[in-house]
Amino acid sequence: MKTPYPQEVHSFGATLEQSFVPKELAEVYKTLIDVAKERQNDCMGLLELLRFLETLHGQIRDHYYIASLPQNRGELYALLKEMEERDGWPLLPRSETRSLLKRLDSLRDGENFIQ
């Protein structure tokens, strides 16, 4: 089972030109980046956007992706092998509390925080 996307599917760059974005999603991508830029200095606004994306990810996974999974072991093995070759499951990681505390400590100590 081959996906229609090249290996670069998981390499997202700083701009649309540097990122792999399916043609039919280019406008959605641009809109989301514009919303993020508008909220650039608004931590709660950006958190709201990230929660929205996490919810959308869950809905797509639960309502569409799961239903499209193979029905037998051979097809499932082929899918898992291909996923492993292409960087695995698409995750939307959350910031860890430790990284936030580290940032607060460095700001308190007058350092610039670089992750």
- Are 93 and 50 in contact by the 8 Å Cβ rule? The answer is no
Per-residue confidence (pLDDT) for residue 48, from 0 to 100: 97
Q: Is the pTM of this model over 0.85?
A: no
Query: Domain extents for the chain?
Result: 7-108
What is the pLDDT, as a whole number, of residue 71? 82
Q: What is the maximal distance between C-alpha atoms in the chain? A: 57
Average pLDDT over residues 20-46: 92
CB 1 within 8 A of CB 70: yes
**Could you report the per-residue pLDDT of 77-105, keeping only the tens digit for each?**
888 888 888 776 766 566 566 666 676 67
pLDDT value of residue 6: 44
